[in-house]
Amino acid sequence: MIVLGIETSCDETGVAIYDAEKGLLAHSLHSQPIHAEYGGVVPELASRDHIRKLTPLIRQVSCSAGVDLHQLNGIAYTAGPGLIGALLVGAATGRSLAWALKVPSIAVHHMEGHLLAPLLEFPAPVFPFIALLVSGGHTQLVRVHSVGRYTIMGESLDDAVGEAFDKTAKMLGLGYPGGPALARLAEQGKSDRFHFPRPLTDRQALDFSFSGLKTHALNTLHATEGHLQDRADIARAFQDAVVDTLLIKCRWALEASGLSRLVVSGGVSANQALRSRLHQLAQQQAWEIFFPRLEFCTDNGAMIAFAGCQRLVAGQSESLNIAARPRWPLGDLTAPGR
Q: Which of 216, 299, 305, 324 binds Zn ion (CB under 5 A)?
A: 299
Nearer to ligand KG4, 10 or 79 (CB): 10
Of the candidate spans 37-45, 54-62, 176-184, 283-291, the one that interacts with ligand KG4 by CB under 6 A turns out to be 176-184
SS3 80: strand
Nearest to 120 by CA among 222, 22, 24: 24
Q: Is the dihedral of CA 103, 325, 158, 225 positive or negative?
A: positive
Count Cα neighbours of 317 within 13 Å in the Cβ-side half-sphere.
17
Nearer to ligand KG4, 104 or 113 (CB): 113
Smallest distance, Zn ion to C-beta of residue 207, A: 20
Cβ neighbourhood burial of 60 (10 Å; 0-12, 13-18, 19+): middle
Smallest distance, Zn ion to C-beta of residue 135, A: 4
Smallest distance, Zn ion to C-beta of residue 267, A: 6
Contact 147, 334 (CB under 8 A): no
Question: Does residue 233 touch ligand KG4 according to CB under 6 A?
Answer: no
Nearer to ligand KG4, 97 or 242 (CB): 242
Question: Does residue 148 touch ligand KG4 according to CB under 6 A?
Answer: no
Angle of CA points 304, 274, 279, to nearest 5°: 95
261-265 and 2-7 beta bridge pairing: unpaired
Q: Which of 118, 179, 189, 301 binds ligand KG4 (CB under 6 A)?
A: 179
Of the candidate spans 22-30, 55-63, 133-141, 184-192, the one that interacts with Zn ion by CB under 5 A turns out to be 133-141
Nearer to ligand KG4, 75 or 115 (CB): 115
d(CA 197, CA 48): 41
Nearest to 218 by CA among 206, 209, 207, 230: 230
Smallest distance, ligand KG4 to C-beta of residue 135, A: 3
The CB-nearest residue to ligand KG4 is 267
Smallest distance, ligand KG4 to C-beta of residue 151, A: 21
Q: Is 265 left (phi over 0), alpha (psi -120 to 50) or beta?
A: beta
Q: Looking at this protein, which amino acid is placed at residue 154? A: G
Question: Does residue 8 touch ligand KG4 according to CB under 6 A?
Answer: no
Of the candidate spans 27-35, 124-132, 160-168, 197-205, the one that interacts with ligand KG4 by CB under 6 A turns out to be 160-168
d(CA 149, CA 326): 21
Smallest distance, ligand KG4 to C-beta of residue 137, A: 4
Binding site for ligand KG4 (CB under 6 A): 10, 135-137, 162-163, 165-166, 177-180, 183, 266-268, 270-271, 298-299
